[in-house]
Structure 1
Amino acid sequence: MTSDFPAGNYRFIPAVFQYSSGAAADAGFEVERVRFDRPLPLAEGFARIARHIQAAGRPRTAFCACELRSPAAFSEDGFRAFNQHYVKTLAEWGLFDGTINPVARSNVCPEIDPPAEPSFYAFSFTRTTSSTTPSFVIAGSAEARDGPGSYPERIVRYRDLSPQAWKEKVRFTVEEMERRLGEFGFEWSDTTAAQVYTVHDFHPVMTDELVRRGAARSGLTWHFARPPVVDLEYEMDCRRVLREIVI
């Protein structure tokens, strides 16, 4: 079930306090994705994002998604501490009310040449449009089941990288993407981009678990990066965005 966020002119899939599972622009609005030419540390990135959104004549509450890069995978406690710091700015911008967060997110860790500190790689916001074409961003998701329990309890085939385990990890993540798309009434055929984050060779399962399901309809961007928490091995996100720029 989705929720409306009128202050940003988008709806979202409620998830956890640090992010939503996806954001889709309301009628009369579209999502614009902006990628930084080089990753910007959080404070500098938030300031640059605010200037860009306001220069487009939009309020900061139009901020609907972001893509982060971190130096290395966090422990479970470290990830919680980072998220508590991250949402402080969202609260100041009127996006996070202490419980519900409408902003979708991915946060991954480049294996080679990582940033020195958590940084923004890209962000998305809503802006007015005369187009009737829908646009959305689905947040990053790895092979961890929702619900209570620690990550070791929820990770699919925990610390198992056998061929069968790898197939299950990828299938689980692809199915979660499909579930989130379905919350908005979309499917893979509506996407304009999909991204994969892993340091492992996923090609043995790519044909059956990604291409045949339609996940690679617009190609597939592979980032040589790890998911944000130790022992997660594979993450994905996807989107339908017609306006994308680099600054």
Structure 2
Amino acid sequence: LRCPAPHPMGGFLGFNQEYHSLLVEWEMLVQGQNPIARTNVAPLHAPPSETVLYGFSYVEPSSIEPATFVVAGGGELPHRELDEKHIVRFGETSAEAMLEKAQCVVQIMRRRLEQLAADVEMLSSIDVYSVHPVRESVEQVILPGLPQAAHLGVHWFYARPPVQNIEFEMDLRGVRRELVIEL
């Protein structure tokens, strides 16, 4: 999703509640859980006037190997609880702070890969969302933490994460085919 600007934490929580209600209404929950991997970001340049769908990924059960997967976007919140007090280096954007934020996010992504029984060799795309320089994060954190980045590269989107005061977001996927449709 693309939104006009980052939400305050409470606004993002409200957005998520509405989103969850819609999934319930559409009977899309699986065993009470949201099965949809989603990344929300706010482009710094030419943002939309309202939150819009930018793209989506679709996966389904298959016996074909290797398995495919999409890892939802995540920022520097090491705990699942959406609370500003958990943001790594809250309010800081120094090079050192950004490295620590990136380290947190890479750990979250690795944990999510493990939960999907996937590993870094299965990745087909690594996306980073930040308005801060990412070169040091790529060299010092992403390449060591997600070595497949040396082969795939890292897609950097000049956009803010969807919550105010979160500065670095990432998502991952391992898919066989990507189709882009221009509307």
Same fold (TM over 0.5): yes
The answer for unaligned runs of 5 or more in structure 1 is: 1-67
Residue from 125, 129, 134 that aligns with 1:202: 134
More strand by percentage? 1
CA pair 91-148 structure 1, distance change in 2 beyond 3 A: closer
Bigger radius of gyration among the two: 1
Deviation of the 1:161 alpha carbon = 1.6
- What's the Cα RMSD here? 2.0
Percent identity among equivalent residues? 37
> What is the CA-CA distance between 1:163 and the residue it aligns to?
2.2
The answer as to whether partners of 2:59 and 2:69 remain within 8 angstroms in 1 is no
Would the aligned equivalents of 2:9 and 2:82 in 1 still touch at CA under 8 Å?
A: no
Post-superposition CA distance 1:153-194 (Å, at most 9, x none):
100011112222111111110111111111122221110001
Distance 2:82 2:64 in 1: 44
Partner of 1:122: 55
Residues 202-241 of structure 1 deviation map (CA, whole Å, 9 limit, x = unaligned): 2123212112331513111111100111000000000001
- Residue 221 (str. 1) matches residue 147 (str. 2): no
1:113 is aligned to 2:36:
no
- Deviations for 1:86-115, whole angstroms, at most 9, x for unmatched residues? 223312221138953221111111000011
Alpha-carbon offset, residue 121 of structure 1:
1.0
Q: How does 1:32-43 map to 2 (within 5 A)?
A: none
CA contact (8 A) 1:73 1:230 kept: yes
TM-score by length of 2: 0.89
Structure 2: stretches of 5+ with no match in the other structure: none
Report the residue type matching 1:233 in the other structure. E
Query: Which residue does 1:141 correspond to in 2?
Result: 74
1:91–1:98 contact (8 Å) kept in structure 2? no
Deviates more, 1:81-90 or 1:100-109: 81-90
CA apart distance, 1:123: 1.1
Contact 1:91-1:97 at 8 Å conserved across structures: no
Q: Does the Cα contact within 8 Å between 2:78 and 2:108 map onto a contact in 1? A: no
Cross-structure match for 1:5 = none
Q: Which amino acid aligns with 1:242?
A: R
Q: Are 1:131 and 2:131 matched, yes or no? A: no
Aligned residues: 179
Does the residue aligned with 2:11 lie in a helix, a strand or coil?
helix
2:113 corresponds in structure 1 to: 181
What is the deviation of 1:146? 1.2
